[in-house]
Structure 1
Amino acid sequence: MEEIEEKTMRVAWGITGAGDRLEEILAIMKEINSKYDDLEIRVYLSKAGEQVMKFYRIYNDLKSSFEKVYVEKNANSPFLAGQIQTGKFEFMIIAPATANTTAKISLGIADTLLTNSALMGLKAYVPLYILPTDYKAGEVLTKLPNGKLLKIRVRKEDVEHVERLRKMDGIFVLESPQEIPPVFEKHYRLLRKD
Structure 2
Amino acid sequence: MTAEKAKKRKVAWGITGAGDKIAEFIEVMKEIQKEYADTVEIHVFLSKAADLVLKYYRLEDELKQNFSKVRVEVNSNAPFLAAWMQMRKYELLLIAPATSNTVAKIANSIGDTMLTNATIMSLKAFVPVYIAPTDYKEGTVYTKLPNGKEMKLRVRKEEVEQVKKLERMEDVFVLEGPQKIRGVFQKHFG
CA apart distance, 1:121 = 0.4
- 1:37-72 Cα offsets, whole Å, 9 max, x none, are 121100000000000000000000001100000000
- % identical equivalent positions: 56
Equivalent in the alignment of 1:13: 13
Instruction: Determine the C-alpha separation between the residues in 2 that align with 1:87 and 1:182.
Output: 21
- Is 1:43 aligned with 2:44? yes
Instruction: Determine the C-alpha separation between the residues in 1 that align with 2:179 and 2:136.
Output: 15
TM-score (norm 2): 0.95
Instruction: Determine the C-alpha separation between the residues in 2 that align with 1:35 and 1:125.
Output: 27
- 1:144-168 Cα offsets, whole Å, 9 max, x none, are 1111110001111111000000000
CA contact (8 A) 1:6 1:38 kept: no
Instruction: Determine the C-alpha separation between the residues in 2 that align with 1:15 and 1:5.
Output: 24
CA apart distance, 1:7 = 3.0
Instruction: Determine the C-alpha separation between the residues in 2 that align with 1:132 and 1:86.
Output: 26
Equivalent in the alignment of 1:192: none
Instruction: Determine the C-alpha separation between the residues in 2 that align with 1:87 and 1:15.
Output: 20
Equivalent in the alignment of 2:157: 156
Instruction: Determine the C-alpha separation between the residues in 2 that align with 1:178 and 1:12.
Output: 18
- Is 1:104 aligned with 2:105? yes
- 1:135-193 Cα offsets, whole Å, 9 max, x none, are 1111100011111110001111111000000000000000111100110111003xxxx
Per the alignment, in what secondary structure is the counterpart of residue 17 of structure 1? coil
Equivalent in the alignment of 2:127: 126
Long gaps (5+) in structure 2:
none
CA apart distance, 1:6 = 7.9
Runs of 4+ in 1 over 4 A off after TM superposition: none
Trace 1:64-79 onto structure 2 (pairs within 5 A).
64-79=65-80
Instruction: Determine the C-alpha separation between the residues in 1 that align with 2:127 and 2:80.
Output: 16
CA apart distance, 1:120 = 0.3
Long gaps (5+) in structure 1:
190-194
- The number of residue pairs the alignment matches comes to 186
TM-score (norm 1): 0.93
Residue type of the alignment partner of 1:179: K
